[in-house]
Amino acid sequence: MVELIWMCLVICLVAFPLMGIFSKYDALSASGGLSVYSLGNMGGSNAFCTQANFVGEKSGLVMQCNTGTLSTTAIADNTGAPLLDFGIIQASSDSFNYCANSAFTDPMNCSSYINTAKITAALEACNGKT
């Protein structure tokens, strides 16, 4: 019986500090309850895909990481392709929710008008930031 008590004490000594670390993140804060003290509250990898209409003066994209850091140099494990991709989807396209230029055809070569070096250089300042 004493061994069981000692085992429970050791488990508590390890678990309580971990629960405190997990509670500092906010991936499960909306669900509330005891889930904020679990490993799942640290979040995971999220894909960020968004589109913006750059016609007006106040156009732009807000980029943020809920957990982790932003990386402009990350590559996909399964294909080895860079994960950062941007382009122009023309108005005649069937779908407007692609996350990669390779997902649609660009017969007018609209994406060639983007200064990719300038965009990438602007995002480089965000590498490693949340």
pLDDT tens, residue by residue, 64-107: 555 566 777 888 777 887 777 777 766 666 666 566 666 667 77
- Is the pLDDT score of 127 beyond 60? yes
Total-model pTM: 0.43
pLDDT, greater one: 83 or 54: 83
Burial class (CB in 10 A: 0-12, 13-18, 19+), 35: middle
**Helices within the chain (DSSP H only):** 2-23, 116-124
Q: What is the pLDDT of residue 5?
A: 94
DSSP lists the bridge partners of residue 94 as none
Burial class (CB in 10 A: 0-12, 13-18, 19+), 101: middle
Q: What is the pLDDT of residue 93?
A: 67
- Is the pLDDT score of 6 beyond 90? yes
- Is the pLDDT score of 55 beyond 70? no
What is the average per-residue pLDDT within 115-128?
A: 78
**20 closest CA partner among 38, 46, 47:** 38
The whole-chain average pLDDT of the chain stands at 74
Eight-class DSSP state of 79:
T
Q: What percentage of the chain carries pLDDT values higher than 70?
A: 63
